[in-house]
Amino acid sequence: MLVFTFSKVATKADPPAALRTAHPAPPAELTYRDKVIGLTQEVTNPFRHLEKDDKEGFKTHVDNGRRVYYQNCFYCHGDDLDGEGHFAHGLNPPPANFQDPGIIPNYQESFFFWRISKGGPGLPPAAAPWDSAMPVWEDHLTEEEIWDVILFLSEYTGYRPRTFGEAEH
């Protein structure tokens, strides 16, 4: 009797009805505050070069990224950038865990710029049925603040985003 009852009330582990892409490819270009930004090979973080050219300037951008992250992002992505923020357990899919070595090193900085600026509503249909709860930060953060957050994510975790021209795995 117990087995029969359990089989009637147990949560089903059926796969999703349609195939989806967990991390869809970014579009070739996006419009950010009426400015068209191509997300092709020529687009890189405009402040990344400071890492070698102006260490103090680079540190200023990383510090700004840290400030912006802890004012806006840690509620979902967590204090330790591990996807375990206060709101994380109520979200499906869960927020990205930036400590996971399969996240930051597998994507270019332009991917992160797209995902931060456009949020869940900016996902293509291939990402359905689980649209992300990620807010559209384009309306709240400047372009520089988004690039700075991306620098902070990389510096905090120690993971480097993939650069164009690197071999695919």
DSSP 3-62: HHHHHHHSPP-PPPSS---SSPPPPSEEEETTEEEE-STT---TTTTHHHH-HHHHHHHH
Q: What is the pTM of this model?
A: 0.80
Question: Which of the four pLDDT bands, split at 50, 70 and 90, describes residue 169?
Answer: very low
Q: What is the pLDDT of residues 48-101, one digit of tens each?
A: 999 999 999 999 999 999 999 999 999 999 999 999 999 999 998 899 999 999
Question: Is the C-alpha dihedral spanning 82, 88, 89, 95 positive or negative?
Answer: negative
Q: What is the pLDDT of residues 138-163, one digit of tens each?
A: 999 999 999 999 999 999 999 999 87
Looking at per-residue pLDDT, the higher value among 112 and 4 belongs to 112
Q: How high is the pLDDT of residue 82?
A: 98
Q: What distance in Å separates the CA atoms of residue 112 and residue 108, rounded to the nearest whole number? A: 7
Q: How far is CA 42 from CA 19, 107, 164, in A?
A: 31, 15, 9
Task: Domains for the chain: give ranges and CATH numbers.
Answer: 30-39+46-157 (1.10.760)
DSSP 113-163: HHHHHHTGGG--GGGTTS------GGGTS-HHHHHHHHHHHHHHH-PPPP-
